[in-house]
């Protein structure tokens, strides 16, 4: 009896966490501050929050240029790693080794930012989608009512009583 109830509760939690995505804009990695000014390191989601407001978790990032179909969201972004070519990495990741900032301490892959003018080019664009929780609509569901619940309790109690006496 506990397993079906647990499964039902799990489904309800998953259904309650449904979300919708709305395209809000894009940014090029190279539009960030110049690397040699030691700018702050940003994840793709942090850069989106900086540019569009809100919190990093409000956004999903995609390298797919489709702006009308949320199913194309890749949850990855273009990043500029220090001393390496522009690459694609998870939307929430970043690297900032040593002291704070993209150019400190310097060295191959000691920093990786989604918003810095260093190793990415004009066509390496991160597409930003706002993630919004969608409220669940209340749907009337036929129920047992008080009399039905009492009847069900009596039946289940009787089944339990019968099992108890048979096993003893």
pLDDT tens digits, one per residue of 31-67: 999 999 999 999 999 999 999 999 999 999 999 999 9
Residue 10, domain member (yes or no): no
State which residues form the domain around 57: 19-133
pTM over 0.75: no
pLDDT at residue 153, rounded to an integer: 64
Query: What's the CA gap between 109 and 124, in Å, rounded?
Result: 19
Strands 111-113 vs 95-96: parallel, antiparallel or unpaired: antiparallel
Q: Which two tokens stand for residue 39?
A: 């700018």
pLDDT at 11 over 70: no
Residue 123 covered by a domain: yes
Report the number of distinct structural domains present in the chain. Answer: 1
Classify residue 53: in a domain, yes or no: yes
Whether residue 164 is contained in a domain is answered as no
Residue 8 lies in a domain: no
Smallest CA-to-CA distance from 64 within 88, 93, 81, 92 is with 88
């Amino acid at each position: 009896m506990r397993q079906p109830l647990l499964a039902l509760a799990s489904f309800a939690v998953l259904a309650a966490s449904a979300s919708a995505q709305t395209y809000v804009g894009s940014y090029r990695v190279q539009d960030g501050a110049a690397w040699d000014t030691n700018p702050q390191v940003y994840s793709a989601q942090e850069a989106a929050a900086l540019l569009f407001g809100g919190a990093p978790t409000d956004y999903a990032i995609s390298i797919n240029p489709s702006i009308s179909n949320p199913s194309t969201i890749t949850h990855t972004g273009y990043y500029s790693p220090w001393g390496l070519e522009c690459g694609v990495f998870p939307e929430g990741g970043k690297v900032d080794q040593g002291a704070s900032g993209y150019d400190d301490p310097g060295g191959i892959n000691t920093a990786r930012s989604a918003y810095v003018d260093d190793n990415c080019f004009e066509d390496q664009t991160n597409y930003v989608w706002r993630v919004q929780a969608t409220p669940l609509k209340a749907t009337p569901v036929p129920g047992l009512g008080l009399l039905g619940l009492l009847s069900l309790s009596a039946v289940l109690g009787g089944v339990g009583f019968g099992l108890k006496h048979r096993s003893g």
